[in-house]
Structure 1
Amino acid sequence: MADAPALLRDVFGFDAFRAGQEEIVDAVAAGENVLAIMPTGGGKSLCFQLPALLRPGVTLVVSPLIALMRDQVRGLREAGVAAGALTSANTPEETDAVWDALSAGELKLLYLAPERLASGGTQRMLANAGVSLIAVDEAHCVSQWGHDFRPDYLRIGELRRALDVPLAAFTATADAETQDEIVTRLFDGEAPRAFLRGFDRPNLHLAFQPKDSPRRQILAFAAARRGQSGIVYCGTRAKTETLAQALREDGHPALSYHGGMDPEDRRGVEDRFATEDGLIVVATVAFGMGVDKPDIRWVAHADLPKSIEAYYQEIGRAGRDGAPAETLTLFGPEDIRLRRSQIDEGNAPPERRAADHGRLNALLGLAEAMECRRKSLLHYFGEDHPGDCGGCDLCDSPPETFDGTEAVRKALSAALRTGESFGAGHLIDILIGNETDKVRQRGHESLPTFGVGRDLSRGQWQAVFRQIMGRDLMRPDPERHGALWMTEAARPILRGEDTIRLRRDTIDRAKATRPQAKALVSEEHAPMLAALKARRRALAEEARVPAYVIFPDRTLIEMAEARPETLDDMARISGVGAKKLDRYGRAFLEVIAGEVDDMHPARQRLAGREEGTLFDRLHAMQTALARGPEGTDKPLSCSAAQLARVAEARPRDHDALARILGDERADRFGTAFLGVLSD
């Protein structure tokens, strides 16, 4: 049986595991119960796909969305792995083919939606199919208080007990509370072997901007990335449609996506996004876990996400191929009020609401951060980052700050003197001395705080209040139309026991400079990358698969920069496994190097490996000795398959060589071959 490194190279096309993968693969392959928390884009899928090839029987993969399963099955089949999915989107012919492969014992991975577990016959079918491992993707869906809860995930623990097989659970976002729920519901409270891998995604550039004409900001961000696939997340269904229309009017291919659409229309958007280069999808969070496209180059939030976990998961859909990708999140006071009210008006118990406010606070702290955003983000997940990351907007351009203690005290005083009964707009009128009808009706023009804030403009005060809410010094009260009330955290500032610094660039609401896109390759290699993408697009259309199933952007980038000239060179490109080298290697090599020399299939199987070099040396030695050392003997040669077996087995003596070649060939070539093998 092949070992893990060989399968990694030959099937998946990688020379080495990513950090943390090998330990998880070994544990899953050995049949241990495993909980692995890995960053999005960190290679979770490989951690159950590769063990499935090492273990007997079928690996059952429970996955939350049909699009996700369909993409992974297509990718596995392209790599030569027998995989199938049973979903409601299957045609009758596809379902029959999966059943036939299961009955014949040919299937290695079976993908199943959790809803299918509700069927009484499913468990019997799985027991008869020889399932030897259950892999649960997006395991945080089992958490009843999580943002992606799927009730049918609660059936997985029962299935594990019934089949009596090991279970491996994978997720990118699980705080301590969610981890406890996963252990309770999937593993019956018996702690599995846990792997917590780093949350850092160094290829993602992080950026936040205060809202200042959000449509203009999103259009500018997209314009600087024209031709690149991206996602824009919006807080409402209506906004997805209006913003998608604005992007189309600006010359972008853009589609909207939300839960109110017809299922067939949603599938159409999913399919187009998977197969088309450069498409933008403007979506609610309904466009979520099913997105498995590795070459999404940017993700923008037109509205603030619900929590820091939601933010991390949503930006994590960019750059899964490891190539550079960018993110932008817009936020403003209305976002904060909306998110606070959603928490306060929900049905969760008080302790859950407190925890949700804490998660929102963490995200707001990230939005209002004054130093490296990556440090702040990783700190929330319990990690330290040495030094500034150099990959966020605050590292690119450190913000200017100032002592905002006096301004915050004035704002707090205005709220307290008006009974904490008004929103920011009325409080700002009081602070800047704007004698509106509402101010006069309530006699607020006579307050000591009336006009004390004339040193700042209305826009500057709006930014102060946003930062106050972002620091959780004041919260809107949903039962009193968003009236701001002071939290305990503000009291030390009000009493003069603490100070606070604010960002001057935020206060001044300076117009953001037009965002600059990061090129995937240098100007020198850009034409070659474009040519390789064109070849990929043609092959994908012919095979009717998404372009990234042929090769992801990262592989094409490496080809464009390395310029392989032979199939051996091509096999050394990350992501080019044996199956894909055989299927597509020549097509891409022709784009780079022109005409490609023929290579025997037995030799091609060794391409890019040390054994390939050995094969060539053995072949050259055989040619030299074809008529014996004196050139007078009858012609004799080994087949390419025999030479490949010698190169792979590396026999150490004449007898071992003879078992591969036979006595006659061992006598003719043995001494020379053993000399080559011993060098």
Structure 2
Amino acid sequence: MPVANPDLQNAYEVLDRVWGYDEFRPLQAEAVSDVIAGRDSLVVLPTGGGKSLCYQVPAIVREGMAVVVSPLISLMKDQVDALTSNGVAAALVNSTQSDDQKRVTAQRIRSGEIRMLYMAPERLLTSRTLDFLTTVPISFFAIDEAHCVSNWGHDFRPEYRGLRVLKQRFPDASVHAFTATASERVRDDIVEQLGLKSPNVLVGNFDRPNLRYRMMQSNGKLQQIQTVIEQHRGESGIVYCITRKEVEQTAAALETIGITALPYHAGLDDVTRQANQEAFIQEKVDVIVATVAFGMGIDKSNVRFVIHAGMPKSIEHYQQESGRAGRDGLTADCVLIYSGGDVMTWKRILENGDRSNFDDAMGSVNAMADLCSGVRCRHAAIVSYFGQEYDVDNCNACDVCLGELETVDDPVTLAQKILSCVVRLQERFGVAYTVKVLTGAKDQKILSSGHDRLSTYSLLGDEPAAAVKMWIEQLISQDYLRRVGEYGTLALTPNGRDLLKRIGSVTLTRPPARAVRSRAGNSGAGNGYSRPEESWEGVDRGLFEHLRALRSQLASQRNVPAYVIFGDAVLRTLARQRPSDLDRFGTIHGVGQRKLEELGEVFLNAINEYCDGHPLTRDVPDTSPRPTAATSVKKPLSMKGELAINQARELFRAGKSIDEVAQIMGRAESTTRGYLANYIADENITDASPWVDAEKIPLIEEAAGISEDQRLKPIFDALAENEAIKVPVSYADIRIVMSCYQNRNQQAEPT
């Protein structure tokens, strides 16, 4: 991939060497270029869009040390662990460290060893820290979760406002702000508050095509939650609740039905809260039940589902919270279970808080309610909310586009009944009162106002009040009705007046049937939920779990999150392609040079171990779907790898043993055996004697009849149990002999 800019060329080299990627995702290259050039910037990329690489790559390319501002200690630790595992000199400073630890870090900074330093804004802005940093060469400042700077942002933090001083104290260092969610007003405020100088503002596509959105009315909520979790047994997921009490109740209820879950909310003591988060991050527990206090900056790539057991207070919050699923680009499910009472719950919470922006906050709540009850493609609705166009006719990734919503048979007539009632009430009443009139409630206000004598009174008396309320909300979301004024009275829009004349079309859905508890592996029929399988295509599930167990063991030994070892996407690719040597292992997307050197042999041995007992083809070509905006392209087999394979082939052809080839090439024995397997297959070799003792060959071939499906384990077990056999026979011996044996049999078959 030719790049004219030599600095950007260096960035591509770093990206491949350190992270194992050979392409940037959308807007990453532009963001990296700005940081390398020292131009202030603001980057808005959705969760999972790869914001961290936008400053981590330039920190390695540029001279000096980069300072990363991050709001949470756990996030800083995770990122430093991940960088260190990739061979990058990174460090953090926080209040949990001892004075000795801080002194060691300071010495490493003075010596020029550290390329990236992470700290919270409170620590960075102390006079002592600022004075210290002026004594060392600073390349740039990266401000993560930059929406916290703005009072209009959904997580405003006053301490972030003080970061404006960075442009004053470090005039030669550029400042770069990164966030996943920021409206135009928030973006403008960030630029102003940080004092950025002519910044380049990059706004990515807010759509996350790998996420499957489903909005469900609450109807047996615990069973609905359980159904989703059961479809993801053994996988990581988050359940969000609105209140602390509901968090505790839900976590306890899940435990009683056999689902391991831990609570997380601001009311827990620091030790418990941190321990529960660590248990989730390190995959000691699959499900965390939490308030929105959990999740900001949680750098866990393999969250396979996010369930909202109540409506978030804004679409900004929902986009951020649901976006914590599928950060690795693999398919993930986002299920929102809402009820009519959620709006009132948020209203009570907001009334007890800061009232200065109450109206704006309630506007956000109502917009979220419209998204829940709406019948427009969820991806299109979310993207359009952030001011972007969605030009896909069918996303195939939401309940609307997948046809999972049950629609009413004659929606226009039903809509006319509702709209007529609003007109007869002279557009002077809100949703709740209109529902009472339509359902024939004997409310005193209705009777005293004479509204029980309206022709629309009890017009929908056979329908549940919750269904009528939902239809009114759907008419609002489709622009046939609108809320007006402080009290939210209902009024018809021009489209609504046309629909009264049967001009236009409308979609109205029926409430769901009560959720039925399903067993693990069931499709969850009756609740519109089915597990996506696309990202599992070609993956051997047993091998994936085998590698997952190894990853968990290594992560526990190193006291790091499991994804720091390898993400799920890498494990699935390994379980799909099943590489036979390190060169092919190194071509896997997401395997950098440091990981290859440290972990390649370990994982290759695990693949060999599993494949010995199962009839699996090795070195399977990659036939997975082409990359989307959330993924990147697969690395091709390097020229170095091809040369190594060809060199090994020539050495084996010359009669060299496995040990000799390994010594000549400087490769491990397991890698060399992989080269031999390729040679035997490519050259149709039928004689195993150059690599296996002659006395073992007939014993192995005789035992081959035991394994009808060509698995190696039955052969190995039969030979090990035969007391007459005195020579030890290894899996490697069996693999070589069986490959030659199969080649000989194929050549003997009539054509």
**TM-score band (shorter)?**
0.7 to 0.9
Amino acid at match of 1:460: A
Q: CA RMSD in A?
A: 3.4
Residue 48 of structure 2: aligned partner: 41
CA distance in 2, matches of 1:299, 1:133: 35
Per-residue displacement from partner, 1:618-677 (whole Å, max 9, x unpaired)?
A: 79999999xxxxxxxxxxx99979xxxxxxxxxxxxxxxxxxxxxxxxxxxxxxxxxxxx
- Choose which of 563, 580, 587 in structure 1 pairs with 2:578: 563
Cα distance, 1:12–1:430 mapped onto 2, change above 3 Å: same
- Choose which of 285, 294, 305 in structure 2 pairs with 1:287: 294
CA distance in 1, matches of 2:378, 2:59: 38
Contact 2:110 2:136 in 1 (8 A): yes
Residue 407 of structure 1: aligned partner: 417
Q: Name the SS of the counterpart of 1:395 in structure 2.
A: coil
Q: Name the SS of the counterpart of 2:118 in structure 1.
A: strand
Residue 260 of structure 1: aligned partner: 267
Pairwise CA distance, 1:610? 1.6
Amino acid at match of 1:563: R
Residue 85 of structure 1: aligned partner: 92
| 1:30 aligned onto 2:24 | no
Cα distance, 1:508–1:95 mapped onto 2, change above 3 Å: closer
Q: Name the SS of the counterpart of 1:297 in structure 2.
A: strand
Q: Name the SS of the counterpart of 1:505 in structure 2.
A: coil
Cα distance, 1:493–1:247 mapped onto 2, change above 3 Å: farther
CA distance in 2, matches of 1:595, 1:367: 45
Give the 5 Å matches for 1:646-661: none
Cα distance, 1:595–1:445 mapped onto 2, change above 3 Å: closer
Amino acid at match of 2:135: N
Contact 1:405 1:501 in 2 (8 A): no
| 1:513 aligned onto 2:527 | yes
Greater alpha carbon shift after TM alignment, 467-476 vs 575-584:
467-476
Residue 394 of structure 2: aligned partner: 388
- Choose which of 303, 310, 319 in structure 1 pairs with 2:326: 319
CA distance in 2, matches of 1:389, 1:217: 24
Amino acid at match of 2:252: Q
| 1:397 aligned onto 2:426 | no
CA distance in 2, matches of 1:525, 1:622: 33
| 1:179 aligned onto 2:193 | no
Amino acid at match of 1:394: V
Give the 5 Å matches for 1:633-644: none
Residue 120 of structure 1: aligned partner: 127
Per-residue displacement from partner, 1:347-371 (whole Å, max 9, x unpaired)?
A: 565xx65654554454334323334
- Long gaps (5+) in structure 2: 1-6, 516-525, 612-634, 655-662, 668-751
Q: Name the SS of the counterpart of 1:209 in structure 2.
A: strand
- Choose which of 472, 482, 489 in structure 2 pairs with 1:485: 489
CA distance in 2, matches of 1:258, 1:202: 30
Pairwise CA distance, 1:608? 5.4
CA distance in 2, matches of 1:248, 1:342: 28
Amino acid at match of 1:51: P
Contact 1:460 1:509 in 2 (8 A): no
Residue 658 of structure 1: aligned partner: none
CA distance in 1, matches of 2:162, 2:502: 51
| 1:66 aligned onto 2:73 | yes
Amino acid at match of 1:392: C
Contact 1:7 1:50 in 2 (8 A): yes
Residue 652 of structure 1: aligned partner: none
Contact 1:210 1:330 in 2 (8 A): yes
Contact 1:410 1:453 in 2 (8 A): no
Amino acid at match of 2:509: D
Per-residue displacement from partner, 1:342-398 (whole Å, max 9, x unpaired)?
A: 66786565xx65654554454334323334221222222313233211111112116
Cα distance, 1:638–1:515 mapped onto 2, change above 3 Å: closer
Compute the TM-score of the two structures, normalised by the length of structure 1.
0.82
Cα distance, 1:250–1:474 mapped onto 2, change above 3 Å: farther
Amino acid at match of 1:574: H
Q: Name the SS of the counterpart of 1:537 in structure 2.
A: helix
Q: Name the SS of the counterpart of 1:135 in structure 2.
A: strand
Contact 2:483 2:490 in 1 (8 A): yes
Per-residue displacement from partner, 1:371-430 (whole Å, max 9, x unpaired)?
A: 42212222223132332111111121164351143232255257659x63x872x65444
Percentage identity across aligned positions?
Answer: 34
Greater alpha carbon shift after TM alignment, 491-500 vs 572-581:
491-500
CA distance in 2, matches of 1:279, 1:93: 36
Amino acid at match of 1:270: Q
Give the 5 Å matches for 1:189-338: 190-276=197-283, 279-338=286-345
Q: How many residues align?
A: 611
CA distance in 2, matches of 1:589, 1:618: 21
Amino acid at match of 2:574: M
Give the 5 Å matches for 1:263-662: 263-276=270-283, 279-339=286-346, 347=354, 355-356=360-361, 358-381=363-386, 382-397=388-403, 399=405, 400=407, 402-403=411-412, 404-412=414-422, 420=429, 424=432, 427-435=434-442, 445-446=452-453, 449-454=456-461, 456-467=463-474, 473=481, 485-486=489-490, 489=493, 493=497, 496=500, 503-507=507-511, 512-513=526-527, 515-519=529-533, 521-522=536-537, 525-594=540-609, 609-614=638-643
CA distance in 2, matches of 1:514, 1:639: 56
Cα distance, 1:490–1:407 mapped onto 2, change above 3 Å: farther
Contact 2:404 2:528 in 1 (8 A): no
